[in-house]
Amino acid sequence: MRRPVIAGNWKMHNTVAETTALVEGLLATRPPASVDVVVAPPFTSLPAAAMVAAGSPLGLAAQNVHWETHGAFTGEVSAAMLVELGVGWVIVGHSERRTLFGETDRTARDRARAAQRAGLTVIYCIGETLAEREADRTFAVLSSQTDGLGSLDPDRLVVAYEPVWAIGTGRTASPEQAQEAHAFVRSCLERAFSPAAAAALRILYGGSLKPSNAHELLARPDVDGGLIGGASLDVDSFSAIIRAAADRAAGV
């Protein structure tokens, strides 16, 4: 059984004070030890989150990282800067970075390699748009986006499948659609690494997972957790998803 990961991507939400309160509230729920729980506040709130979470099992992630160690890259942050803050995880290649800010498969892989060299665990995002799904190109897109991942360390890699058409739209992939995509991604990872490495690698669902559908989605054999957006901004809803992942880990 792969250990579930529930990661909250807070995007451009929460001031330092709001981040502190949310992390404190989450820790007060005593997240179960059977689940890797990770939060990704905005850059400005990472030091405060690290201070509150110090000594707890809560993982801290950044939402992006640059592929160079230093240089004239205005607005960017290096992996070493994140490690210095106590960050252990980083999200790379998120659909919003791809669609709004020009991220490509190549630059995402470059960021991931730099992050892993610094000791960070990468949550690497892939997924198709609505137009690509309607054109029956889902598998072609996922195959292309996983091509080249063999240059990464699978032991410091988590893949997040984001059906872009189900993010912030109110639409959600059915459990059957999610499982089909996750199983295909795992087959791609077998080619990138090895069958054994792919079997151990965790694949998260990142398309509007929430308390009402968490149990059903997480019950699928190749869905190993979730990359959560809006539902992670509320302690009660985020905790409910974490409990659903704990149920999966317990075989409930």
Q: How many CB atoms lie within 10 A of CB 147?
A: 13
DSSP output for 115-158: HHHTTPEEEEEE---HHHHHTT-HHHHHHHHHTTGGGS-GGGEE
**Could you say which DSSP state residue 201 is in?**
S
Three-state DSSP at 80 gives: helix
Let me know: does 148 contact 194? Beta carbons within 8 Å. Answer: no
Active centre residues (catalytic): 94, 162
- Which residues in the chain belong to E strands, given as ranges? 5-9, 36-40, 59-62, 89-92, 121-126, 157-161, 203-205, 225-228
The answer to whether 237 and 210 have CB atoms below 8 angstroms apart is yes
